[in-house]
């Protein structure tokens, strides 16, 4: 549950406002840090446009020169190498704030709501309840997966052309909402379309606010909140309000352990909600927020996985054999999914090479800070870790520019640290200073265990039941906008029901 490609556009574009409003003081403070996107004729606007067109190239080139150190890009500073990345992730929140960085990126106080951003108890519900209770909801994920793909791929036995990103959004929305809000709402097409479209509300509203100088953000945000955020919330309450109110009433009458209590995210939210947040409006706003995080980020990753599955067909049969062997023997359980080492590896390799962005571990400096190498960061500066550069570093990943779907499975089989090849550090969900697809440290994506489980079920189901290939043999091409990697949202893949 990280950032979607569309959000990447907003982050990149909104960085312009940050650069223009804050450049003078910070530029003087950051002069000692190498600038990898110099401003032509001294115009920071032109540097930003250059970075927006392709931020990956200067970051990778800068990494070759400054690996283990820091570099400047439009909008902030990128730190590289295990030492500085580790120092960044260890900084306490009052020194380097994740929340303030995300709030800045999304104008979250106005688009998602102040309580969602700054009183985020739902994050702990994701981190603890959702992760801990995954085994108890696997069967529901599998059931909803079959139901959703049954609708999405029902045209027949011949090859059909399917828009991958659109399909991914719809299927993922249905699966995650089975766990978030349960039946029957998770199969309500109007509700699902609203949730899929909700990202455009957040992105569009954020962009509108960023058009104004920072000093005017409260005024612009108040207008956006009144005319965009509040109507979106009321629409969501139309779907969710009766269900939430019914559960609130039962808790009031019978206590939290009332009879026939649903085992879903809404129940877990209400179990953990401070009294002032146990309301229809607040719970609805948090369900909107987790949908925003879950649907579109997973849709991007899922699309990249399918594209690579079609592009590198020699992986297909070994994956199918592994999945058949494990599922036929052990069924669909959390433990059986953990045994799908080749599938986990294929997904992680895709995430390494085709992640959602080249920057990770976002932070906002809340006070002046100096890294161990002497790099000075002034209060108010944005700081990131160089994820993409680390992912393409041959020191960490031999032949890093080559896709090897079984790279991490082979590392596990080589027994690096575990005689049974189960070394946890090679799992997709495990973060490190050299694998940053989910961030790193205490603010690493809290929903990654759920997201990886959900996508494993989806991909395994498709491999078991369908053949796939590229349409006209052409691999969809991702694009880079600033530091964001944007999947081809219009690309099609061919599917056919399995015949052997």
d(CA 379, CA 356): 27
Q: Which structure tokens are listed for 360?
A: 């990770």
pLDDT at residue 209, as a whole number: 86
Which residues 6+ apart lie within 8 Å of 106 measured at CB? 7, 10, 112, 202, 206
- Cα dihedral sign, 468-469-472-474: positive
Q: What is the pLDDT along the chain (500 residues), one digit of tens a residue?
A: 444 545 555 545 554 554 444 444 455 668 889 999 987 766 777 887 888 888 899 999 999 999 999 999 988 999 999 999 999 999 999 999 999 999 988 889 999 999 999 999 999 999 999 999 999 999 999 999 999 999 999 876 799 999 999 999 999 999 999 999 999 999 999 999 999 988 778 878 887 887 787 788 889 888 888 888 888 899 999 999 999 999 999 999 999 999 999 999 999 999 999 999 999 999 999 999 999 999 988 999 999 999 999 999 999 999 999 999 999 999 999 999 999 999 999 999 999 999 888 999 999 999 999 999 999 999 999 999 999 999 999 999 999 999 999 999 999 888 755 544 457 889 999 999 999 999 999 999 999 999 999 999 999 999 999 999 999 888 998 888 888 888 899 999 999 999 87
Q: Which structure tokens are listed for 258?
A: 């009332």
pLDDT at residue 3, as a whole number: 45
d(CA 7, CA 202): 9
Q: Which structure tokens are listed for 3?
A: 């950032």
d(CA 373, CA 7): 33
Phi, psi of 368 (to 5 degrees): -60, 145
- Cα dihedral sign, 356-358-364-369: positive
Cα distances (Å, whole numbers) of residue 225 to 111, 119, 292, 480: 7, 18, 17, 30
d(CA 468, CA 212): 46
Q: Which of 33, 83, 34 is nearest to 61 (CA)?
A: 34
Cβ(186)–Cβ(177) below 8 Å: yes
Instruction: Report helix angle 448-465 to 134-152, nearest 10.
Output: 40
pLDDT at residue 47, as a whole number: 82
Task: Number of helices (H) and strands (E) in the chain: give both, helices first.
Answer: 22, 12
Radius of gyration for the chain, computed over Cα atoms and rounded to the nearest angstrom: 23
Cα distances (Å, whole numbers) of residue 474 to 181, 257, 304, 477: 39, 54, 14, 9
What 3-state class would DSSP assign to 399? coil
Kindly report the CA angle at 348 between 462 and 313, in degrees rounded to 5? 45
Cβ(64)–Cβ(361) below 8 Å: no
What residue ranges do the domains of the chain occupy? 5-497
pLDDT at residue 375, as a whole number: 96
The residue with tokens 């940053």 is 436
d(CA 349, CA 309): 11
Contacts for 205-210 with beta carbons within 8 Å, 24 or more apart? 205/107, 205/110, 205/111, 205/229, 206/10, 206/14, 206/105, 206/106, 206/107, 206/111, 207/10, 207/13, 207/14, 209/107, 209/110, 209/111, 210/10, 210/13, 210/14, 210/17, 210/107
d(CA 67, CA 393): 10
Q: Quickly name the fold that domain 5-497 has.
A: Cytochrome p450 (1.10.630)
* Alpha-carbon 497 to chain mean position: 30
d(CA 383, CA 359): 9
pTM: 0.91
Q: Which structure tokens are listed for 61?
A: 């080139």
DSSP run (H or E) holding 493 = strand 492-497
pLDDT at residue 19, as a whole number: 47
């Amino acid at each position: 549950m990280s950032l979607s490609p569309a959000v990447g556009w907003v982050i990149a574009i909104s960085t312009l406002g940050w650069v223009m409003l804050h450049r003078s003081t910070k530029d003087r403070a950051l002069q000692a840090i190498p600038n990898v996107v110099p401003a032509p004729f001294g115009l920071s606007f032109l540097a930003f446009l250059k970075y927006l067109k392709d931020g990956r190239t200067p970051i990778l080139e800068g990494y070759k020169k400054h690996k283990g150190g820091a570099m400047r890009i439009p909008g902030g500073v990128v730190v590289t190498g295990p030492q500085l990345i580790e120092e960044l992730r260890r900084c306490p929140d009052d020194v380097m704030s994740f929340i303030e960085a995300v709030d800045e990126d999304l104008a979250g106080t106005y688009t998602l709501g102040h309580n969602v951003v700054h009183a985020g108890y739902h994050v702990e519900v994701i981190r603890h309840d959702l992760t801990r209770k995954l085994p108890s909801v696997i069967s529901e994920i599998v059931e909803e997966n079959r139901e959703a793909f049954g609708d999405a791929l029902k045209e027949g036995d011949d090859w059909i052309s399917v828009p991958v990103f659109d399909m991914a959004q719809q299927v993922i929305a249905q699966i995650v909402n089975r766990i978030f809000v349960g039946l029957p709402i998770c199969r309500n097409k109007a509700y699902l379309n609203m949730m899929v479209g909700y990202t455009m509300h957040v992105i569009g509203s954020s962009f509108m606010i960023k058009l104004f100088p920072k000093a005017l953000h409260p005024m612009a945000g108040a207008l956006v909140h009144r005319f965009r955020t509040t109507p979106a919330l009321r629409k969501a309450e139309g779907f969710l309000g009766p269900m939430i109110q019914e559960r609130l009433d039962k808790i009031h009458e019978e206590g939290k352990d009332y009879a026939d209590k649903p085992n879903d995210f809404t129940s877990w939210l209400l179990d953990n909600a401070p009294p002032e947040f146990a309301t229809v409006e607040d719970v609805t706003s948090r369900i909107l927020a987790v949908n925003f995080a879950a649907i579109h980020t997973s849709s991007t990753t899922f699309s990249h996985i399918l594209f690579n599955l079609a592009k590198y067909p020699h992986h297909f049969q070994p994956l199918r054999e592994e999945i058949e062997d494990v599922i036929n023997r052990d069924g669909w359980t959390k433990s059986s999914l953990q045994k799908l080492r080749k599938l986990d590896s294929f997904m992680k390799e895709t995430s390494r090479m085709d992640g959602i962005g080249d920057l990770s571990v976002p932070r906002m400096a809340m006070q002046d800070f100096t890294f161990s190498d002497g790099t000075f960061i002034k209060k108010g500066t944005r700081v990131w870790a160089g994820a993409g550069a680390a992912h393409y570093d041959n020191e960490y990943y031999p032949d890093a520019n080559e896709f090897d779907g079984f790279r991490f499975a082979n590392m596990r089989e080589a027994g690096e640290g575990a005689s049974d090849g189960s070394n946890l550090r090679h799992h997709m969900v495990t973060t490190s200073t050299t694998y940053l697809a989910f961030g790193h440290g205490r603010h690493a994506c809290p929903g990654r265990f759920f997201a990886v489980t959900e996508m494993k079920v989806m991909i395994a189901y498709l491999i078991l039941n369908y053949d796939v290939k590229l349409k006209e043999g052409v691999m969809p091409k991702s694009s880079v906008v600033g530091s964001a990697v944007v999947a081809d949202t219009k690309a099609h893949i061919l599917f056919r029901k399995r015949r052997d």
